[in-house]
Amino acid sequence: MLLHVFGVVGGVWPVVVVGLYLVGALAAPPEKIVLTTDLASLREELDSLVAKIRAARVPAEATPHVEALADVLGSLLARPDLDADATYGVTRLVRTDIPLAVQTYLNLPWWFAVAKKVNGTSAADELVAQLGLLEVDAKAVAGQFFDTDVRKQADHTRYLRERTQEG
């Protein structure tokens, strides 16, 4: 409008204003995309994965690891205040690591999966070892997350001791 007052644009000032508005709208940064993980859907994926593993032809030695993974990851997913690091760890385990380990084993013919190889291990042994390592990883993720609760509990104990000693 000031350009019209000073005679720079004449009668086409509405077109100039719309054009400048469009340039500004196109030059503005887009809205931020916030990626979140729905813990309920992740829990459903975990339950479905564990059910598929239980129904599959996995070695009996793998079952305790699968049950331990389900317990540890389930206890984390039961917490609505799961932090970003723990969410990432659980997501990685549920959506990538566990399915990859199990599916790689299941892709092999049963007779090949249980046969010993030159290095002394079979695919079944490898699966059990992988699930054991994933169990250790899951417990580490849980340990880091629940450590905050332990610190809160210790702080509260210290507070109660100080309060009772004052009285």
Q: What is the pLDDT of residue 3?
A: 58
Number of C-alpha atoms within 13 angstroms, CB side, residue 148? 11
For 36, 66, 127, 162, the CA distances from 39, given in Å and listed in that order, are 9, 20, 27, 39
Residue 109, by phi and psi: left (phi above 0), alpha (psi -120 to 50) or beta? beta
Number of C-alpha atoms within 13 angstroms, CB side, residue 88? 5
pLDDT of 61-96, one tens digit each? 999 999 999 999 999 999 988 999 999 999 999 999
pLDDT of 88-145, one tens digit each? 999 999 999 999 999 999 999 988 887 877 678 889 999 999 999 999 999 999 999 9
- Residue 54 banded pLDDT, cuts 50, 70, 90: very high
